[in-house]
């Protein structure tokens, strides 16, 4: 669903920050959507230390956007957990986003109760574990409220698609695109 969203935002500069127990910039802001889609495909469970560092992930995204000259600066924060790692509190990161005029849409992903989590085991290959879904909805709502965004809850792929469609409608900005053709 994230791929569909990116493909639909043809003229936007988009970046990708990945977080678990720590945060990395998978792709800086770019209009090269093929590059970002390729890097999105390379995200795998276990590529970062285990945990959920929502504050660090958001702070990293804010750092990438803070100097942007764009009229609209937006972070879409997807998480399936509760902040339990990192040195930056999520509310502190939200204050930082607000300071730079960055709107944050938060999305809690996962069904209530138990979910199936794919785990790559070096000994037995791909295994599936049942885990309890815990999403700190109060913190996600507070992040969105502070920054002028909206909190959403997605329990399946269809719900996530609808959320991305809503965000797409909320974040429309008129732009002028100049195309040049060189004839010889």
The maximal CA–CA distance of the chain, rounded, in angstroms, is 64
Q: Return phi, psi of residue 114, to 5°.
A: -85, 145
Token code pair at residue 26: 């998978």
Mean pLDDT by 10 residues, the chain (184 residues): 90 92 93 93 84 95 93 93 92 97 94 74 81 87 97 92 90 61 80
At 175 the pLDDT is 47
Residues 6 or more apart in contact with residue 174 via CB below 8 angstroms: none
pTM value?
A: 0.84
Rg (C-alpha) for the chain, rounded Å, is 17
Q: Whose CA is closest to 163, among 102, 108, 113, 111?
A: 108
Token code pair at residue 13: 């500069």
At 173 the pLDDT is 54
At 180 the pLDDT is 75
The DSSP secondary-structure symbol of 84 reads -
Return d(Cα 20, Cα 50) in angstroms, integer. 6
Q: Is the Cα torsion angle 158, 159, 161, 165 positive or negative in sign?
A: positive
């Amino acid at each position: 669903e994230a791929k569909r969203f990116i493909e639909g935002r043809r003229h936007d500069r988009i970046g990708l920050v990945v977080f678990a127990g720590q945060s990395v910039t998978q792709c800086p802001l770019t209009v090269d959507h093929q590059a970002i889609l390729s890097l999105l495909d390379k995200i795998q469970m276990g590529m970062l230390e285990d945990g959920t560092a929502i504050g660090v992930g958001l702070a990293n995204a804010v750092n990438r956007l803070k100097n942007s000259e764009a009229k609209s600066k937006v972070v879409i924060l997807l998480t399936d957990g509760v902040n339990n790692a990192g040195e930056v509190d999520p509310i502190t990161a939200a204050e930082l986003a607000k300071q730079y005029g960055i709107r944050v849409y938060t999305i809690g992903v996962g069904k209530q109760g138990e979910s199936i989590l794919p785990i790559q085991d070096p000994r037995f290959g791909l295994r599936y574990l049942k885990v309890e879904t815990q999403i700190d909805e109060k913190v996600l709502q507070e992040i969105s409220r502070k920054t002028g965004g909206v909190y959403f809850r997605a329990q399946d792929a269809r719900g996530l698609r609808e959320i991305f469609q809503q965000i797409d409608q909320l974040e429309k900005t008129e732009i002028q695109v100049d195309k040049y053709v060189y004839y010889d």
